A and B are shown apart, each in its own frame.
Chain A
Amino acid sequence: MGKPASKKTKKKISSEDLRQKLKLKHLETKRKFSEKYPDVEKFFEDKGIKLEDVRKHSAKIIGAGAITGTLLLNPSGDPQILPTPNEVIEKLKDQGKVEGVDTPQKLLVDTLDSVLPKEVQSLTRAEEKFLEQLFQNILGVNTRATLEGEHLNTTFGRIGAEQHLRRYPGDVLLNHGSGDVLTEGIAPGLGAWGYFAPTKAAFTPDLEETERWYAVVQTLYLPDWNTRQPYLRDWYKHRKVLIVNTDNGNAVIAAIADSGPAAWTGKHYGGSPEVMDYLGGPRYKKGPVILFFVDDPENNVPLGPVEYNKLNLPAGSLHEI
């Protein structure tokens, strides 16, 4: 009897191997660059930054620019530098872009289309204040771009699809529902804050909702992330955010439960399978959104879809225009 054919199996590269390979690649790239352009690293060192810190340097500049720009435009600090949401709607009606009394969702989409830059980018504080009013009036959600002094590097960016997160030791994908929401799979590693509960027995319905409606934000690129620990880590953990798809107006309240995505993916946020499904449907993988913190000190705002087309908007709101 002949020997059984040897079966080659692909082994997953280990985390340590991956680290070593990337470090070697990094060193090789640095060496080649330094050899070819020896003066460039010195140029940046003389300016007080390292080339590898250019993103944090950029975030500081943009943050300072947004504040300075707001002050220059509006020395009083009054956020009414932009027209109010109602004034914008009136203008859209005059231009024939909004007819009669539309659904709140159409009003929101038309208004966002008229005020947002065509490409995702940092918004000014005045623009963010305008959007806070708009979301309060149309969605009925009290949001802040800056909450308790904290502000993400961007509030208008692209969201991408994420996988489910393991909620407790032993958790598997099939525990996360059925149908389309299982397509993305489950992340092999844990979220940035580890398991949601230490054991299955300690896993509560609230935590189940937190994973179902979770968001990912780029805490790792915050300019002060490393210097303000553990405060920032605790502050961002399960922090509620409002995510609005600027293309269709779909809105969802989510809880921050992981960090990312990497800056070189063209994305700025991530959403759980359920978040992405609600924002854009089962095939929605990436798209522009606004992401603001929810101002909810009493923890009254539930996670999940914001079904504002069913809302009875308060007197004086856009509904009556």
Chain B
Amino acid sequence: MSKVYYDHLIVLDDIENKIKDIAETREEREELWQLVDDIIHRRVLACVLDNLPKGNHEEFLGMFHEAPHSLSLMDYLKERIKDNIEELIKQEIGGLATELLEELQAKE
């Protein structure tokens, strides 16, 4: 499965629909999806590293590289981050969704 460990926290159907409505070709649509995907990766990784103690960063990145899909990554984070990391990621992506939808609003 083409999957990363936080996929289950991210549902951006509205953004997908918006892109599908506007993109004119398959290539264009997939390019735009990939841009959004990359934005998500960086925003989530920044959110994780902002909250994970610095001493754990290298270990976490190594684990992420070894198995980006593994749900044990979330367990690792839960053990080391005081706040609810799943909620923090959801909030981060919720904020991103709002930003993206504002960007994609129709012009008056």
Residues on A lying within 8 angstroms of B by beta carbon are: 8-15, 17-19, 21-23, 25-26, 29-30, 32-33, 36-37, 40, 43-44, 47, 49, 51-52, 54-59, 61-62, 119, 121-122, 153-154, 157, 160, 187-192, 218, 220-222, 258-266, 268
Contact = CB atoms under 8 A, between A and B. Distances in A.
Most buried by A among B15, B67, B69, B107: B69
Q: Which of A25, A160, A190, A268 has the most CB of B within 10 A?
A: A25
Contacts of A261: 16
Contact of B108 (A8, A21, A188): A8
A18 B26 contact: no
Contacts of B11: 264-266
Interface of B: 1-4, 7-8, 10-13, 15-16, 19-26, 28-43, 45-46, 49, 58, 61, 65-69, 99-100, 103-108
A264 B37 contact: yes
Contacts of A33: 42, 45-46
B1 A154 contact: yes
A62 B22 contact: no
Contact of B69 (A37, A58, A190, A268): A58
A222 B1 CA distance: 9
Which 3 A/B pairs are nearest by Cβ-Cβ distance?
A: A154-B1, A221-B2, A262-B33
Contacts of B30: 220, 259
Contacts of B25: 189-190
B23 A189 contact: yes
A13 B37 contact: no
A144 B83 CA distance: 44
Contacts of B24: 15, 189
A260 B45 CA distance: 24
Interface of B (DSSP majority class): helix
A13 B105 contact: yes
B69 A61 contact: yes
12 contacts: A12-B22, A13-B22, A18-B22, A19-B32, A25-B39, A43-B65, A61-B66, A122-B69, A190-B25, A191-B26, A218-B2, A266-B10
Nearest to B29: A189
Given A189-B24, A192-B26, A29 B107 contact: no
A188 B20 contact: yes
B107 A62 contact: no
A55 B4 contact: yes
Contacts of A153: 1-3
A164 B72 CA distance: 39
B41 A40 contact: no
